[in-house]
Structure 1
Amino acid sequence: MKIKTLFIKPIDYVGFRRAKNFSHSEETIFPNIKTFYGAILGSYFRKNNLKTQDIEEIIKSKKLKLIGPFLSDVDENIYFRMPSIIKQNDETKEYYKGKIDKSFTFPINGKELYGIRYDSMRNLKEPEKKYISLKELEELKKGNIKIIEDNSQIYEKEEKVGIALENRKSKENMLYSYTYFRFKENSGFVLFVEKDELKILEDIDFVTLGTKGRLAKVEIKEIETSIFDSISDKEKGLLLLTPAYFNNGILPVFNENIIAVANYKPESLGFWDLKNNKPGELFKVVPCGSVYYIDNEFKNEYSSNFTDKFSEYNFGKYIEIKL
C-alpha cells in the first residue's frame, strides 16, 4: 500500500526534555509523539491565528493522525526500534527470532501465557544494532530474519541531567534530563500520516522543534510499503510501532486471544502541561518494539489502536507479523 510520510529534518541540533523517576530510569529512544504534534500544530496555529482550544479540538477529534516518531537517514531510509523478539548470539553474532513455547506457561494478571524460546538459547543478548530498517521489517513481517549490519550513524547524542526544583528546593525522587540530537545533514525524524482532514501538513514547510525552538524542515512524500497489510495466519504477532498504555500493566483488559508476550521493560513517559507550563505526571507504557502473540481471529476491542489511553496521539499502533 502507499502511505504519506512526513520527514522532519532538523537544521541544527535539537534537544528534548525528559522526566524520570529515580526508581524507574529506563531510557526511551525517541521523543514522544506529543512533541511532534505540538511542533506541527503550533506552526499551523501561528499561521492561521487559531486559539489554543482549536488546537486541542484537532487532537481530540483525531483530525490529524500521525504514526511515530521513527528515524530516517541521509538517503531517507526509515528505521524503527529493533523488535523485542529479535535476539543475537554474543559469540557468532547470529540473529534469532522468538517463538512460542507451549511446553510451559506462567501467570500475568491472572492469565496464563506461554513462554518464548529461541532456536539457540545460549549466549543470547539484546542485538547490538538498535534499529531495524523498513526493508528489514518488511522481511520480518513475512517471517524472515534478514538483518543487515551497517555502520551508518544517523545522529550523535548527548545527555545532560539535573534535579527538578519546587519552591527552590529539589523535588523528591524526580530526575530531569535533556537529550540533544545532532543529525547528519538530510537525516532526522519521520512519521507516517494516517489522516490529515484539514490538510494541515500541506501548509507547513518548517517547524520549531524541541527546547529553544530549533528549526526543522518538513517534507511530505509518498512511499510504498507492506508493513500495514493484514496477515491471514491464525497465529501471528502484533508488533507495537508506538507505545501502549494499559491500566493493568502490560496486558489489556480484552486479552482473550493473547497467548504470549515478548515486551521491553516498561518505560516512563510524561507530557508537558501547557496550561500550567510544567511537566505533567509520569506514567508507564509498554514500549514500541514489544510483541503480543495472538491466536485465532484477534478481536481488537480498541478499534485501530491497542491501548487504554492516549489513542488521540496514536498510542498502541501495531502491525501484524508472521511468527
Structure 2
Amino acid sequence: MKEKLYAIYFEPEDWLAFRESRRFNPGDTARTVFPSPFPFYGAIRTMLLKKYDVKLEYHQKPNLSQELLRKIGDESQPGIIKLYGPFVYSESEGKRKHYFPAPKNVYKCENSGYKTMHLFDTKIKLNCFKIGLAWIPEVEGIKEVTESYIELEELRKLQSGQSFVLCHAPNLIEEVKTGIALEESVKRTKEGMLYFLRIYRFKNGGFFMLTDSEETVKEISKIEGVFLGSKQRWCRVKVEQFGGNIFQRIDSKNVAMMLLTPAVYDGGIVPKEGKFDDAIVKAIAATKKTVVSGWDYTSGKPKPIYHAVSPGTVYYLDKFPKDDETVVKQSYYNEFGFGRFVYIPYENLKQCEGGEQNDEQSFLALC
C-alpha cells in the first residue's frame, strides 16, 4: 500500500437503491450493510465508455479495443481502476467525516465505555485447525453495541491504543424492501427473480471509495458523475487527496487485522490453512456473512450470490504477516477491492497471582 491515498466521493442527488438477489429460506442468515463494490465499478466504467465514444446497447457487451479493455476492464477484471469500499461520509459546513464498518470485537461497558475483546488463548476446533476466543473479561455492566460505524478519527485512536467510540452514520437512513419480478404477460414469478432492494437516503453526504492508484485518479477525474444503483440515480463524483493512511502498520506487540471490505476465502471465514500469509489466526470476532450480488445489465439477470466474510470482522494474529499484499490476494475478487483490512491492537487475558481466580477459570465457570 502506497502512502498517498485518494478519496472518490459519490454524492447522490436523491436516494440510492441496490438490488440483491437472495435465497429465501430459514437457513439463509447472510445480511448486507454496505452495498457491493461491483455497482460502483460498473457505473464508473459506463461513464468512461461514454467519454471514449463507445456505443452501448442494453444486454450486449461493448466492442472494446485491447487498450481500452486494459484501461477500464470488464465485468471479470477492473483494468487499471483500483478502488476500496464503498464507505459512508457526511459533510457539514465544508467539513467531511468518514465512516467505516465498526470492528466486531468491540463491546460496551456501562462505566468505562467501548473496549475491545481480549484474546483467550484456548484451543477450539474450527475446520481443520484450532483457535482461541475473542473474550469479554468483564461479567457485569456489559451493554449491547448497536452502532454500526467507526468514524475515521476514532479508528485512528483505536489503532494507537487510545479510548474510542462507535457511532451511527448521522446523515443516513436505510430501508429494505422485497421485490418480485413476474413473467411477461403471465401472473407468476420468474424463476430466481426474488430480490431485496436496499435503499440509502443521505442528507449532506454519500458514499466514498479509496485508492492509492494515480492511474485510477487520472481516469476517474475525466468524469463529472455517474448513474448509480438499480434505479440509476445521478451522483456527482469528486476526487480529493485523503489525509493520513489507516492502512499502515501500527506500533503494537499484539496485532489483529480488521476487514474494511468483504472477503471471500477458500476456507470460508478464513483461508483454509488458518493463516494470513505466514501469520497464524489465533481468534476471530465475526458476525453473519455478507451477501454479495448484483444485477448484470449485459445479460439482464441477477449475478451469482457470494456469501462473503463481513466488513468489521477481526482476526487476532500471532504476528504481523510478512507481506500485506499477499494477505489481500488470499481473498477472491481482491482486484475489485475485496479483502482490504487495517491493523488494530489487542490485549491478552491477564493471569491473576496468588489465590485469586484468573480469567481462564472465570471463563470455565461460565460455561
Which residue identity lines up with residue 105 of structure 1 in the other structure? Answer: K
Which residue identity lines up with residue 32 of structure 2 in the other structure? Answer: T
Tell me, yes or no, if the aligned pair for 1:96 and 1:119 is still in contact at 8 Å.
Answer: no
Which residue identity lines up with residue 284 of structure 1 in the other structure? Answer: H
Q: SS where residue 31 of structure 1 aligns?
A: coil
Q: SS where residue 303 of structure 2 aligns?
A: strand
What is the correspondence of 1:22-171 to structure 2 with a 5 Å cutoff? 22-23=24-25, 24-50=28-54, 51=62, 53=64, 54=69, 55-57=72-74, 60=77, 62-74=79-91, 75-89=95-109, 94-102=113-121, 104-122=122-140, 124=142, 126-147=144-165, 153-165=170-182, 169-170=188-189
Q: Report whether the alignment pairs 1:225 with 2:244.
A: yes
Tell me, yes or no, if the aligned pair for 1:234 and 1:297 is still in contact at 8 Å.
Answer: no
Q: Would the alpha carbon gap of residues 76 and 203 (structure 1) be closer, same or farther in structure 2, given more than 3 Å must change?
A: same
Tell me, yes or no, if the aligned pair for 2:73 and 2:80 is still in contact at 8 Å.
Answer: no
Q: Would the alpha carbon gap of residues 122 and 244 (structure 1) be closer, same or farther in structure 2, given more than 3 Å must change?
A: farther
Tell me, yes or no, if the aligned pair for 2:171 and 2:202 is still in contact at 8 Å.
Answer: yes
Q: Structure 2: any 5+ residue segments left out of the alignment?
A: 55-61, 347-367
TM-score between both structures, scaled by the size of structure 2:
0.79
Q: Would the alpha carbon gap of residues 276 and 93 (structure 1) be closer, same or farther in structure 2, given more than 3 Å must change?
A: farther
Which residue identity lines up with residue 100 of structure 2 in the other structure? Answer: F
- CA–CA distance in 1 between the matches of 2:201 and 2:221? 26
Q: Report whether the alignment pairs 1:210 with 2:229.
A: yes
Q: Would the alpha carbon gap of residues 320 and 306 (structure 1) be closer, same or farther in structure 2, given more than 3 Å must change?
A: farther
- CA–CA distance in 1 between the matches of 2:175 and 2:78? 36
Q: Would the alpha carbon gap of residues 275 and 230 (structure 1) be closer, same or farther in structure 2, given more than 3 Å must change?
A: same
Q: Would the alpha carbon gap of residues 146 and 313 (structure 1) be closer, same or farther in structure 2, given more than 3 Å must change?
A: same
Tell me, yes or no, if the aligned pair for 1:10 and 1:216 is still in contact at 8 Å.
Answer: yes
What is the correspondence of 1:1-20 to structure 2 with a 5 Å cutoff? 1-20=3-22
Tell me, yes or no, if the aligned pair for 1:30 and 1:70 is still in contact at 8 Å.
Answer: yes
**CA-to-aligned-CA distance 1:234-291 (integer Å, 9 cap, x gap):** 5311111100001221010343411111112212221323331110221110011101
Q: Which aligned segments of 4 or more residues in structure 1 are displaced greater than 6 angstroms?
A: none
Q: 1:84 Cα deviation (Å)?
A: 0.4
**CA-to-aligned-CA distance 1:40-63 (integer Å, 9 cap, x gap):** 111111111244652435972641
Q: SS where residue 77 of structure 1 aligns?
A: strand
2:350: which partner in 1? Answer: none
Tell me, yes or no, if the aligned pair for 1:155 and 1:182 is still in contact at 8 Å.
Answer: yes
RMSD: 2.6
Q: Report whether the alignment pairs 1:305 with 2:328.
A: yes
Percent identity reads 29
Which has the larger Rg?
A: 2
1:268: which partner in 2? Answer: 291
Q: Would the alpha carbon gap of residues 194 and 301 (structure 1) be closer, same or farther in structure 2, given more than 3 Å must change?
A: closer
Select which of 306, 325, 333 maps to 1:283: 306
Select which of 326, 339, 354 maps to 1:316: 339
Higher strand proportion, which one?
A: 1
1:179: which partner in 2? Answer: 198
Q: Would the alpha carbon gap of residues 7 and 302 (structure 1) be closer, same or farther in structure 2, given more than 3 Å must change?
A: closer
Q: Would the alpha carbon gap of residues 79 and 65 (structure 1) be closer, same or farther in structure 2, given more than 3 Å must change?
A: same
